Amino acid sequence: MVKKIGIVALVLALATPLWAEEVSGKIQKVDAGDRTILLEVGTQLWLAEAVSADILKEGATVKASYEEKDGKKVVTEIEVSE
């Protein structure tokens, strides 16, 4: 029984990110269809469904919090400044 609980806890720990990463930069490209943005520094970010793409424009400076999911940097929160 103890082994099963330990394995379940390990799987949950690996599946759940411990904290979000942050990145900032100027938007080079917005792809509304794929829900992605590309920063000038070369970082590609995918927008989570809860994140609106309406205010994201090329040339805007952003600060984004993201989590790694399936090898993608998925934005969970984003701040935009002109």
Domain positions in the chain: 19-81
Tell me the β-bridge partners of 61.
Answer: 26, 81
Q: Residue 43: name the closest of 8, 74, 80, 7 by CA.
A: 74
Question: What CATH number has the domain spanning 19-81?
Answer: 2.40.50.320
Walk along the chain (82 residues) in steps of 10 and give the mean pLDDT of each run.
39 51 96 95 94 91 94 94 75
Output the CA torsion 79→20→54→70 (10° steps).
Answer: 160
- The pTM of this model reads 0.73
The per-residue pLDDT for 16 is: 45
